[in-house]
């Protein structure tokens, strides 16, 4: 789930909340949030998560950076319940 923090006209930041199906096959479990980079100083540019996928226990994202370029980022849980660390 993708969430945008803040509001128009103010500093904004995106966050990605990975959600997985629980062990019973029906419930959903949300993992800790992965925060995007802070917005530009003027608040007019925001890093955007353009896609994500799960590979084993790793979240692989494609992001559009403040300068407009895209890059792939990988995150893993630092402990059983987080937080996420970029590697």
Alpha-carbon span 55 to 69, nearest angstrom? 23
Each domain of the chain, given as residue ranges in start order, spans: 2-86
Contact 54, 18 (CB under 8 A): yes
71 CB-near residues (< 8 Å, 6+ apart)? 62, 63, 65
Alpha-carbon span 68 to 18, nearest angstrom? 24
Tens digit of each residue's pLDDT (9 = 90 or more) over 20-69: 777 788 888 877 889 889 888 877 788 999 999 888 888 999 999 999 99
> Whole-model pTM?
0.77
Say if strands 19-21 and 70-77 run parallel, antiparallel, or are unpaired: unpaired
């Amino acid at each position: 789930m993708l969430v945008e923090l803040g509001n128009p006209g103010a500093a904004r930041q995106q966050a990605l909340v990975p959600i997985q199906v629980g062990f019973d096959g029906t419930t959903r479990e949300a993992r800790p949030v992965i925060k995007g980079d802070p917005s530009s100083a003027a608040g007019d540019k925001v890093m955007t998560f353009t896609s994500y996928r799960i590979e084993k226990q790793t979240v692989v994202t494609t992001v559009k950076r403040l300068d407009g370029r895209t890059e792939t980022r990988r995150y893993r849980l630092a402990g059983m319940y987080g937080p996420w660390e970029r590697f």
